[in-house]
């Protein structure tokens, strides 16, 4: 098959890698230097109409959309209008991620377990409510923020500051919710809107500093699989994944693509922290290398409403991702820093997340620059290989967490 992957980050590099491993011809736009080593990178305008036209011109058999902003812009809808199968939710269905206030209300309507919360379109009302809460208080920007629109406020003053920042934007909404305790875990469902297959559970590490301290980021590292009990998995399947898919069908916006369930394993059982409408990043860099079956075939089948969950196969063993981030990330990441990558290492791979070529030199071009993935029979072996390869990368001032997986060590 000819597969067009849309996006330019570490997630898209992992998607490209999975499709190439399955023997497909892979195109990507806008791509990055690492992706260019495995796929044909195409220059294109990045609006929905231009991308759908590109897919048609190239004769793509299936389009796989990576980032959430493209889904919210309606890329899948435009592809389908041209008869091109596209793996991802429609613009309407992607609201499950793009509007956290709507998403929370959806969960309430369909009895999906999540934190107690209230949503606000007015700063004054939000401040009044925050003043009544006992910290820690979770404050979320309801819009698309690439995983960084969340503040865990340890004082009412911190919550108020976060709310004031959110409401500097026109049309802003905020969600204030109770702080949940427990282990956080991500489970992704590949789905055609009705049938689904789950990936192994993984655990991201969201804050910039070790010990889960410092500002929130898009993710600084992952372990996969993360231990989840059979009882917890039954609740996740029955009360979260299946209720969500059924609810989306009932509301006239069936969800096809990747349903990302960010969960908290609370003492009362698994509850939804948030839904995303695509592969997580960096979860994709941990999960997809363990996929033994054909991602492009699954994407085509799901887009056509014909997914066979039994055909989706993940191998045993474990993976671990260590993110190398630019100095200054997440506030003001430095760009243009020269990067030197070592020769490939058995049991480990570098996925490009924020890189560019400048004068023949590979340089940083974003906040999270490289995702280093290790594989092994055990979690410890995967972590050892990931850190060993990360140490050999030339990247002055790189930020990385050295405690990935610490919660279950």
* Mode of pairing for the β-strands spanning 394-395 and 339-340: antiparallel
User: What is the model's pLDDT at position 371?
Assistant: 98
CATH no. for 189-310: 3.30.470.20
Pick the CATH number of 318-408 from 3.40.50.620, 3.90.600.10, 3.30.470.10, 2.60.40.10: 3.90.600.10
CB 61 within 8 A of CB 85: yes
Q: What sign has the CA pseudo-torsion 102, 105, 110, 114?
A: positive
As separate numbers, helices (DSSP H) first and strands (DSSP E) second, the chain gives 14, 24
Task: Please give the pLDDT value at position 232.
Answer: 97
Residue 339, token pair as written in the block: 């990067």
Indicate where the chain has its CATH 3.40.50.20 domain(s): 2-87
Residue 268 phi/psi, 5-degree rounding, is -90, 0
DSSP codes, 177-192: EEPP-SEEEEEEEEES
- What is the C-alpha separation between 73 and 91, in angstroms, rounded? 6
Query: What CATH number matches the domain at 116-178, 3.40.50.300, 2.50.20.10, 1.20.210.10, 3.30.1490.20?
Result: 3.30.1490.20
Kindly report, as residue ranges, where domains of CATH 3.30.470.20 are found in the chain.
Answer: 189-310
Average pLDDT, 10 consecutive residues per value, the chain (409 residues) = 98 98 98 98 96 98 97 97 98 94 94 94 92 92 73 92 91 92 96 98 96 92 97 98 98 98 97 96 98 98 98 96 98 97 94 96 97 97 98 98 91
Starting at the edge strand found earlier in the chain, the sheet holding 269-276 runs 196-198, 183-191, 257-266, 269-276
Other C-beta atoms within 10 Å of 124: how many? 10
pLDDT of residue 24: 98
- Can you tell me which residue has the tokens 């969500």? 244
End-to-end CA distance of the chain: 42
Q: Provide the token pair at 257.
A: 């693509």
Beta-ladder partners of 224: 319
Query: Residue 18: helix, strand or coil by DSSP?
Result: helix
> What is the 3-state composition of the chain as percent helix, strand, coil, each rounded to the nearest 5?
30, 30, 40
Of 344, 333, 287, 290, the residue nearest 34 (C-alpha): 344
Task: State the angle between helix axes of 156-166 and 123-130 in degrees (0 to 180), rounded to the nearest 10.
Answer: 170
Residues forming a β-bridge with 96 = none
Domain at 2-87, CATH from 3.40.50.20, 3.50.50.60, 3.20.20.210, 3.30.70.270: 3.40.50.20
CB atoms within 10 A of CB 361: 11
Query: What are the residue ranges of CATH 3.90.600.10 in the chain?
Result: 318-408
Q: Which segments of 308-350 does DSSP mark as H helices, in order?
A: none
Distance, CA of 117 to CA of 276 (rounded, Å) = 18
């Amino acid at each position: 098959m000819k597969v067009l992957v849309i996006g330019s980050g570490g997630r898209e590099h992992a998607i490209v890698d999975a499709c190439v491993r399955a023997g497909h011809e892979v195109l990507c736009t806008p791509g990055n230097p690492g992706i260019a080593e495995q796929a044909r990178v195409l220059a294109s305008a990045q609006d929905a109409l231009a991308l759908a036209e590109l897919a048609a011109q190239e004769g793509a058999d299936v389009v796989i959309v990576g980032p959430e902003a493209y889904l919210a812009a309606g890329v899948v809808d435009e592809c389908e209008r041209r008869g091109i199968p596209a793996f991802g939710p429609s613009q309407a269905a992607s609201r499950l991620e793009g509007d956290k206030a709507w998403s929370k209300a959806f969960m309430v309507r369909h009895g999906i377990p999540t934190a107690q919360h209230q949503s606000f379109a007015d700063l004054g009302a939000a401040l009044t409510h925050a003043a009544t809460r006992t910290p820690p208080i979770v404050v979320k920007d309801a819009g698309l923020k690439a995983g960084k629109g969340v503040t865990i406020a340890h004082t009412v003053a911190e919550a108020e500051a976060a709310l004031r920042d959110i409401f500097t934007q026109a049309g802003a909404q905020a969600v204030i919710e109770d702080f949940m305790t427990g282990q956080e875990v991500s489970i992704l469902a590949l789905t055609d809107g009705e049938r689904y297959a789950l990936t192994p559970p993984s655990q991201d590490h969201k804050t910039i500093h070790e010990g889960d301290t410092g500002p929130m980021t898009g993710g600084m590292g992952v372990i996969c699989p993360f231990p989840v009990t059979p009882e917890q998995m039954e609740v996740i399947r029955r009360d979260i994944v299946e209720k969500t898919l059924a609810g989306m069908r009932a509301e006239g916006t069936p969800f096809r693509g990747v349903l990302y369930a960010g969960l908290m394993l609370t003492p009362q059982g698994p509850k939804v922290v948030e839904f995303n409408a695509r592969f997580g990043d960096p979860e994709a860099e941990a999960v997809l290398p363990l996929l033994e079956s054909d991602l492009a075939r699954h994407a085509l089948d799901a887009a056509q409403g014909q997914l066979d969950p039994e055909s989706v196969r993940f191998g045993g063993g474990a993976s671990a991702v260590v993110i190398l981030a630019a100095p200054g990330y997440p506030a003001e990441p430095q760009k243009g820093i020269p990067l030197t990558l070592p020769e490939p290492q058995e049991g480990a791979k570098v996925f490009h997340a924020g890189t560019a070529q400048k004068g023949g030199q590979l340089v940083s071009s974003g906040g999270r620059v490289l995702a280093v993935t290790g594989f092994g029979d055990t979690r410890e072996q995967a972590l050892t290989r990931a850190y060993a390869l990360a140490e050999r990368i030339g990247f002055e001032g790189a930020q990385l967490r050295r405690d990935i997986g610490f919660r279950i060590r």
